[in-house]
Amino acid sequence: QQALTGRGFGPGNELLDDLDPPDVSPTEQAIAVAKWIYAGRGIPRSAEGAERREADAAFPGVEWLRQPETYSDREWILEIAQQYRSLERSGHVKSP
């Protein structure tokens, strides 16, 4: 929340509404968000795995957090969770 507030995003600020959604499928968008969450876990399993997670930990951008118009809040959260579980099962972050 602090990072977003510092960039002009916060309560009473409609800048998030003005952002264009990324030009990717909802699944690709959810994968990017899930990778960011997964990479931020900070639990390296190996030196190589830690490097991969660090490389993939870059925040995709605020616009990537917006749910696609075709998804309800619940559906969007579940899509991100599904992609996160897929990353967790594989044990590492895969490129889309």
pLDDT given at position 80: 96
Interatomic CA distance for residues 80 and 50, integer angstroms: 22
Interatomic CA distance for residues 92 and 96, integer angstroms: 12
Q: Say if CB 63 and CB 23 are below 8 A apart.
A: no
Task: Give the amino acid at 12.
Answer: G
| Residue 40 counted as domain residue | yes
Residue 78 lies in domain:
17-90
| Residue 3 counted as domain residue | no
pLDDT tens across 42-84, in order?
A: 655 565 666 665 555 678 888 998 889 999 999 999 999 999 9
| Residue 4 counted as domain residue | no
Q: Say if CB 88 and CB 46 are below 8 A apart.
A: no
| Residue 80 counted as domain residue | yes
* Total-model pTM: 0.65
The total domain count for the chain is: 1
pLDDT tens across 14-40, in order?
A: 666 778 889 999 999 999 999 888 887
